[in-house]
Amino acid sequence: MRAPKIKKAFGFEVKLILGNLDQIRSIIKKNPFKNKDENYLHVTFLQEKPKRYSEDEMRQSVTGAEDLAVLGSEVYLFCQNGYGRTKLNNTFFERKLGVFATTRNWRTVNAFLSI
């Protein structure tokens, strides 16, 4: 989704991914990494469910301190060395999956419920 009012006011386009509280609750419930330290957990929200997706190809970029799981239009990402150091970032997912992506840490995902 695009935000035309932002473009009109500020002169640039912004892509948005919007969801509702039920979707956030479902994302939290489906977390495949419940047994791992939440401080290193992130969710990459995809604009839509990817049409092209090869888990084997994506796993070639996963290091021993990382893990990922694509569930629908979300990628659950565990980065023990920190999100800033992983190759599994928005650009990686956009290139591999062919869809717009934005990532939030687990604390932020849970904070959406209190808005």
User: What are the residue boundaries of the structural domains of the chain, listed by start?
Assistant: 4-114
Give the mean pLDDT of 64-69: 94
Residue in the structure block whose two tokens are 């070639």 = 60
Average pLDDT of the chain, as a whole number = 91
pLDDT recorded at residue 56: 83
Show Cβ contacts of residue 59 under 8 Å, excluding neighbours closer than 6 positions: 68
pLDDT recorded at residue 25: 96
Task: Indicate whether 3 pLDDT > 80.
Answer: no
pLDDT recorded at residue 22: 95
pLDDT recorded at residue 58: 86
